[in-house]
Amino acid sequence: MVRWTLAAFALAFIAGAFWWLSLRPSNDRDWADEVSRPLRGSIQGSVVTLHDIRDFDWRSDTDYTARWHDGVYDLDELASVDMALSYWMGPAIAHTLVSFGFTDGRHVVFSVEIRRERGEAFSTVGGFLKQFELAIVAAEERDILHVRAGPRGEQVFLYPIRMPVPAMRALFRSYVARANRLADEPRFYHTLTANCTTLVYDMVRPLVPGLPLDIRLILSGYLPEYLYRHGGLDTSQPLEVLRAQADITRRAARPGTAAEFSRRIRAPEPADGPAPPPPPPS
């Protein structure tokens, strides 16, 4: 009896292993509208052309006008990098986005996301089990920050990042290279190793030698503490002050045009009020 039981377990394990190995990522599925178009980019010298930048008008999380456009950006005019954190599940878990600003006032946001199929919902467990493909989305701030702060009711923070301009340009190019690779060779999302924060870390690490691995790369709600400690934020002010200044939730919850929205969320007044710091990771 024991022998037959062990044999059954062995067969089940082998069958499961074959099933796991048979799963392949694809770019050919019935995708949700917001991730329906893969981002591609081309680079000629300092000029980058991005194809299919998302620019939706969101009235609710399910009621929107879909709109996409191409954009041309000169990396010689790149002026700033901001990290946005959107808290959707308590103080420890936040979605990480990176916004690049140019001297003409334009901004474009890159977001590493699951590529949901139509009607599909995010699952942390599913992220371990090859349930979702990976996507890199480029979007206008008026789209991707507004939908989170407004229709989805998330708390959104925007932190200016201290980074040399050559590193900013290299990071932008890295996003474009990753997006092109995903458009040609789909990849699975993974809750721990290929998510909205760890992929950004992979791109930043070559630009900042010695940048350490840290549990806060998984518990991304605590990324401000990590960045503050390693010089990525303005250390001339206490972190609590930076956090209060970074809370753009109320301002981002209102829709607007691209230029007006980006100015509004960075305006020092009206302030959104101090934000209580998340508790430290246990």
- What is the DSSP track for 88-108? -SSTT-EEEEEEEEETTS-EE
Q: Tell me, what's the pLDDT at 130?
A: 84
**Cα dist from 236 to 120, 177, 275, 277, whole Å:** 44, 34, 19, 18
Residuewise pLDDT in 10s, the chain (282 residues): 656 665 555 565 555 555 445 567 899 999 999 999 999 999 999 999 999 999 999 999 999 999 999 999 999 999 999 999 999 989 999 999 999 999 999 999 999 999 999 989 888 877 878 889 999 999 999 999 999 999 999 999 999 999 999 999 999 999 999 999 999 999 999 988 889 999 999 999 999 888 999 999 999 999 999 999 999 999 999 999 999 999 999 999 999 999 999 999 999 855 444 455 554 444
- Cis ω for the linkage preceding 270 (within 30 of 0): yes
Q: What is the pLDDT of residue 128?
A: 79
- DSSP-assigned letter for residue 109: E
Task: Write out the two tokens for 85.
Answer: 């954190």
Q: What is the reported pLDDT for 281?
A: 47
CB neighbour burial string for 119-142, b if at least 16 within 10 angstroms, e if fewer = ebeeeeeebeeebbbbbbbbbbbb
pLDDT score for 13 = 52
The token pair at 207 is 């630009």
Q: Which residue has the tokens 């070559």?
A: 206
Radius of gyration for the chain, computed over Cα atoms and rounded to the nearest angstrom: 20
- Domain-wise residue ranges, the chain: 22-266
- Helix, strand, or coil here: 73? strand
Sign of CA dihedral 67, 73, 75, 77: negative
* Model pLDDT, residue 266: 97
DSSP per residue over 29-45, as a string?
Answer: S-B-GGG-S--EEEEET
